[in-house]
Chains A and B, each alone.
With several copies, the nearest count.
Chain A
Amino acid sequence: MPARLASPEEAVSSIRTGDTVLAGGFGLVGAPLALIDALVEASKARELTVVSNNLGEPGKGLGKLLRQGRVRRAVGSFFTSNPEVAAAAQAGELEVVLLPQGTLAEALRAAGAGIGGFFTPIGVGTELARGKEERRIDGVANVLEAPLHGDAALVYAARGDELGNLWYRKTARNFNPAMAAAARLTVAEVGELVALDEIEPESVHTPHVYVDLMTRAR
């Protein structure tokens, strides 16, 4: 279905307590800040699993949600940039699931691509491989990783067209395309809403089949 326009508040209104929310961005670059603000201010959903490379910064982006005590589990690769993550984990208020950054990206892609799981050599022999199935393939040790599905994905794109096709600018692309494809409900916050074909058909980064709702960046 083509995407429908909605306010940030409406766009996040179907996120429920216990849901898994995928949030794009590398640090704050490419992060859907209007949607995150709406989730912080207009949603009552608690006990969230948040999948994001980082968990914002103290009091910024997803860091606000953490301060509200609404994140039960954080799945990502680099939480060191927000010391409040360490504090919450220490206090037993937050479960942290750490993945190598490439495994995080690939697990999201796998979810979007209907892949049941994949073997990767990354992390073998480290603490992050603990409890994971290991298998030697063509002489190389691999671990089995599972796809990472979301109930909702919040992504940011510089441009979205009337159908919901998305185009990302420079390094703001990062995790956004993989996340857009990995959730049941995908909301795209767009910097600019453009007419059809203003995004060259060869340059569409996320085809509209992945986008349910669009909202304008503030």
Chain B
Amino acid sequence: MGEDARTLIARRAAQELVPGQVVNLGVGIPNLIPKFLGAGSGVHIQTENSLLGVGPPPRPHEVDEDLIDAAKQPVTALAGAAYFDSAESFAMIRGGRIDVAVLGALQVSERGDIANWAVPGRNILGVGGAMDLVVGARKVIVTMTAQTTAGEPKVVSGCTYPLTATAAAGLVITELGVLAVREGRLVLTELLGGAAVKDVRRATGAPFSVDL
């Protein structure tokens, strides 16, 4: 079920991406998206460490130790790719040149606040490019399971985990449905995986309206 939910979410998220867009994909569920885009999708993947034009994973003989993505996994580069340095990579991100950032999260609030980098009470030791991406990208899509393994909702009225950014998420895709953040309110726009509205209500810690 865990793996299935993640695959379902990734497949649905892939549908949000249109040819020509420049997209940054976070670790976890977003990393499953490329297989649903396929070759020739026309989607340009940027990785912040710093490459525009990420291609599919390398076959064993293609692995190049100087060619990794932000998850430190080996990747390939497509024709027309460009390498740059980290300062330029984040200039591109902050400057609004990433059309869509897709990332995982620990919590998202009804007004689009995102918490995805730290758990309270633990040492906070890694933020990476998350803050830059959720503020800089033109559209932010959060992909995550609806609830924690302990059954707590991840969509909440207000985040209790340390924030990554305020009012940043535009769309939240879980295995149960698609929630859009519109003017600081959540709207359920689509049901997924056979879920009913009441299933979404049960798994969601914040009010939302329904516009299916």
| A contacts B directly (C-beta below 8 A) | yes
Q: Is B210 an interface residue (CB 8 A)?
A: no
Q: Is A113 an interface residue (CB 8 A)?
A: yes
Select B67's contact among A126, A170, A208, beta carbons within 8 Å.
Answer: A170
Select B94's contact among A90, A98, A114, A168, beta carbons within 8 Å.
Answer: A114
Q: Is the beta-carbon distance between B126 and A109 smaller than 8 angstroms?
A: no
Interfacial chain A residues near B96, Cβ < 8 Å: 114
Q: Is the beta-carbon distance between A30 and B93 smaller than 8 angstroms?
A: no
Q: Is B208 an interface residue (CB 8 A)?
A: no
Q: Is B22 an interface residue (CB 8 A)?
A: yes
Given known A26-B68, A102-B129, contact A209–B86 (CB-CB < 8 A): no
Select A100's contact among B20, B51, B53, B132, beta carbons within 8 Å.
Answer: B132
Q: Is the beta-carbon distance between A113 and B50 smaller than 8 angstroms?
A: no
Question: Of A8-16, A62-70, A115-123, which stretch is located at the interface?
Answer: A115-123
Q: Is B107 an interface residue (CB 8 A)?
A: no
Query: Size class of B's contact patch?
Result: 35 or more
Given known A1-B22, A201-B53, contact A78–B127 (CB-CB < 8 A): yes
Which residues of A, 182-218, contact B by the 8 Å Cβ criterion? 196-197, 201-202, 204-205, 207-210
Least Cβ–Cβ distance between A149 and chain B, in angstroms = 10
Q: Is the beta-carbon distance between B86 and A120 smaller than 8 angstroms?
A: no
Q: Is B91 an interface residue (CB 8 A)?
A: yes
Q: Is B33 an interface residue (CB 8 A)?
A: no
Q: Is the beta-carbon distance between B95 and A98 smaller than 8 angstroms?
A: no
Q: Is the beta-carbon distance between B20 and A1 smaller than 8 angstroms?
A: yes
Q: Is A43 an interface residue (CB 8 A)?
A: no
* Most-contacted residue by chain B among A26, A90, A101, A162 (CB, 10 A): A101
Least Cβ–Cβ distance between A139 and chain B, in angstroms = 13
Q: Is A128 an interface residue (CB 8 A)?
A: yes
Q: Is B136 an interface residue (CB 8 A)?
A: yes
Interfacial chain B residues near A197, Cβ < 8 Å: 79-80
Q: Is A173 an interface residue (CB 8 A)?
A: yes
Question: Across the two chains, which residue of chain B brings its CB closest to A113?
Answer: B91
Cα of A97 to Cα of B124 in the assembled complex, Å = 10
Interfacial chain A residues near B145, Cβ < 8 Å: none
Q: Is the beta-carbon distance between B135 and A122 smaller than 8 angstroms?
A: yes
Q: Is A20 an interface residue (CB 8 A)?
A: no
Q: Is the beta-carbon distance between B66 and A100 smaller than 8 angstroms?
A: no
Interfacial chain A residues near B51, Cβ < 8 Å: 170-171
Q: Is the beta-carbon distance between B128 and A101 smaller than 8 angstroms?
A: yes
Q: Is A75 an interface residue (CB 8 A)?
A: no
B92-106: CB near A (< 8 Å → 1, else 0) gives 111111110000000
Q: Is the beta-carbon distance between A207 and B124 smaller than 8 angstroms?
A: no
Interfacial chain B residues near A105, Cβ < 8 Å: 85-87, 89-90
Q: Is the beta-carbon distance between A80 and B85 smaller than 8 angstroms?
A: no
Given known A121-B135, A196-B80, contact A77–B128 (CB-CB < 8 A): yes
Q: Is the beta-carbon distance between A29 and B123 smaller than 8 angstroms?
A: no
Question: Of B159-167, B183-191, B192-200, which stretch is located at the interface?
Answer: B159-167
Least Cβ–Cβ distance between A172 and chain B, in angstroms = 4
Q: Is the beta-carbon distance between A98 and B22 smaller than 8 angstroms?
A: no
Q: Is A35 an interface residue (CB 8 A)?
A: no
Q: Is the beta-carbon distance between B86 and A101 smaller than 8 angstroms?
A: yes
Q: Is B1 an interface residue (CB 8 A)?
A: no
Which residues of B, 4-58, contact A by the 8 Å Cβ criterion? 20-22, 44, 46-53
Q: Is the beta-carbon distance between A171 and B94 smaller than 8 angstroms?
A: no
Q: Is B206 an interface residue (CB 8 A)?
A: no
Cα of A162 to Cα of B42 in the assembled complex, Å = 13
B110-146: CB near A (< 8 Å → 1, else 0) gives 0000000010000111111111100110000000000
Cα of A177 to Cα of B51 in the assembled complex, Å = 15
Q: Provide 17 A-B residue pairs closer than 8 Å at the C-beta atoms, listed in order of the A residue.
A: A29-B68, A29-B72, A53-B86, A78-B126, A85-B125, A96-B125, A99-B127, A101-B48, A103-B90, A113-B91, A120-B94, A125-B165, A170-B77, A174-B50, A207-B92, A209-B46, A210-B92
